[in-house]
Amino acid sequence: MIYKVNYQETKKDAPRRENTKSLYIEADSIADVRQKLSENTPYNIEFIQELTGAHLEYEQEKNPDYKVLTY
């Protein structure tokens, strides 16, 4: 499954909406996403959303830098 993760690049600073970034990751569950990212990045995860069907297609078309991470 593909998940969209909204995150801040560091846990040290207070989260600000303007600094929120997104990435896409392939994983089995939301818990799996959290585990993979916490082991491999210093990110402050804000929100994780599963993408399926039309929503996934929309994200692929809307974002020219669409890449799916795998760990």
pLDDT in tens, 7-26: 999 988 888 999 999 999 99
Confidence of residue 65 (pLDDT cuts 50, 70, 90): confident
Complete DSSP assignment for the chain: -EEEEEEES-SSSPP-GGG-EEEEEE-SSHHHHHHHHHHH---EEEEEEEE-HHHHHHHHHH-TT--EE--
- What pLDDT is attached to residue 54? 96
pLDDT of residue 15: 87
Global pTM reads 0.89
